[in-house]
Amino acid sequence: MVTLDDTSQKTLDDALYFGQIDYILTIPESFTRALTAGKKPQLTIQTKPGTYTKTLVNTTINQFLNTFLLYQKAQPHLSQQEVLQQTTQTLRQQATVKLDHTYTQKVNQSIAGRFINLLAYGLFSTIFSAYGLVNLAFNRPEIKMRNSCSPVSRRRFSRKIAIATISYALLAAIGFSGFIMYVSKLANPQIIGLFSLSILAFFLTMITFSTLVTSLVKSSETISGVNNVFILGSCFISGVFVPSEFLPDIVNKIAAFTPTYWFVRSNMLIGETITYDTKFFEALGLNLFVLLAFSAVFMVLHFMNMREKGVVSLIPHKRTTR
């Protein structure tokens, strides 16, 4: 409240302009008569443009008038003073609002889970492309013939390549995962551990899949095709880019045949869970078991392929006698 010696319109305009006051409320002479008649009086206000107090004061005045008229209509036998007293007591009441910390935690974990889902494309594509480039480079005829003449055995040479590619993939996984978790601002060690477990299971799937497929392909175009069709396509139908709850049921059923689907399920389960009970660990264990099953299948197929290649490579060296 500000007291002005002069209440002329020019003085009021100057006070608003120079910031002495922010809000001018003019109460008409018919104010009391309008309230007594149960009508909402028309008030005149004047404020400086862009001030936030206008909305705040307007809301307070409207709340007071509406409450007063409501009490007066519901209790016509009361005097104006009694209605005013009830209105004042009602508006003086204060409520304490408490935000549930578990809700905030759940929202943050869910956002982190969706960020980690992006590894299904970024990390998977990086690892698969690296495996593809290495295999294409060392399987070129001139490189293959040169390596066959070296004193290093084929098994030892293959082991060194495998160690190098796995080391690269592991460093890429640590880098990608660390960056995602930093951006997600995860601080709970238990949550970080659960997400890391999910990433590790999917990492094994990425390694075995890349090892199998790149041992079969013979051109860079095929590598690019697998990247765009399988890896990117599975991300679209498994909930990485579009939440699975928005996808048709038939799409989710098809996506269940890809490891990306189970990786996303694990992350969303971790992100949306606050209480870790037996039911949670059973569901998470199932998702991780499926990912490990994918890894086992890919590895078995790779060993079968390598064994077949070994048999075929021996056939030209056999001599036939007449």
Domain final position from 51, 69, 90: 90
| Cβ neighbours of residue 34 closer than 8 Å, sequence gap 6 or more | 40, 41, 42
Band the pLDDT of 320: cuts 50, 70, 90: very low
Q: Number of folded domains in the chain? A: 2
In this structure, the answer to whether residues 227 and 108 fall within a common structural domain is yes
Distance CA 260, CA 201 (A): 11
Residues 254 and 174 in one domain: yes
* Residue 285 in domain: yes
**Mean pLDDT lowest for which of 83-92, 140-149, 198-207, 219-228?**
140-149
Give the pLDDT band (50/70/90) at residue 91.
Answer: confident
Q: Are residues 168 and 51 in the same domain?
A: no
- Mean of the pLDDT values across residues 119-143? 85
Shared-domain flag, residues 185 and 288 = yes
The whole domain housing 60 covers 9-90
Pair 83, 110 in one domain: no
Contact assessment for residue 114 and residue 70, using Cβ atoms and an 8 Å cutoff = no
72 and 122, same domain (yes or no):
no
Tell me if 184 sits within 8 A of 116, measured CB to CB. yes
Residue 245 maps to a domain = yes
* pLDDT tens for each residue of 210-249: 999 988 888 888 888 998 899 999 999 998 998 888 889 9
Answer yes or no: do 215 and 186 share one domain. Answer: yes
* pLDDT of 58 over the 90 cut: no
Res. 48: pLDDT tops 80: no
Does one domain contain both 21 and 70?
A: yes
Q: Cα dist. 23→2, 18, 28, 105, 232 in Å?
A: 10, 13, 16, 41, 59
Q: What is the mean pLDDT of residues 86-107?
A: 79
Cβ distance 287 to 269 under 8 Å? yes
Query: In terms of C-beta distances under 8 Å and separation of at least 24 residues, what long-range contacts does 155-158 make, across chains too?
Result: none
Q: If you average pLDDT over residues 9-14, what whole number do you get?
A: 80
What local confidence, expressed as pLDDT, does residue 142 receive?
A: 65
- pLDDT: which is higher, 26 or 282: 282
- DSSP per-residue string spanning 18-81: TTS-SEEEEPPTTHHHHHHTT-PPP-EEEE-TT-THHHHHHHHHHHHHHHHHHHHHH-TTS-HH
Distance CA 10, CA 14 (A): 6
Supply 191's token pair.
């949550």
Listed residues 57, 90, 123: the one ending a domain: 90
Q: Is the pLDDT of residue 153 over 80?
A: no
Q: Is residue 238 part of a domain?
A: yes
Q: What is the pLDDT at residue 88?
A: 87
Q: What is the mean pLDDT of the chain?
A: 84
- Residue 290 or 108, more confident: 290
What pLDDT shows up at residue 74? 86
Please report whether residue 70 resides in a domain.
Answer: yes
Task: Specify whether 83 is located in the same domain as 126.
Answer: no
> Same domain for 68 and 202?
no
Residue 67 sits in the same domain as residue 111: no
Indicate whether 55 belongs to any domain.
yes
Residue 97 within any structural domain of the chain: no
b/e per residue 121-150 (b: at least 16 CB within 10 A) = bebbbbbbbbbbebbbeeeeeeeeeeeeee
pLDDT bracket for residue 317 (50, 70, 90): very low
At 42, list the tokens: 């028309």
Tell which residue, 193, 225, 212, 206, has the closest CA to residue 123.
206
What is the C-alpha to C-alpha distance for residues 188 and 198, in angstroms, rounded to an integer?
16
> Stretch 148-166: mean pLDDT, rounded?
76
Q: Is residue 137 part of a domain?
A: yes
Domain boundary among 90, 119, 152: 90
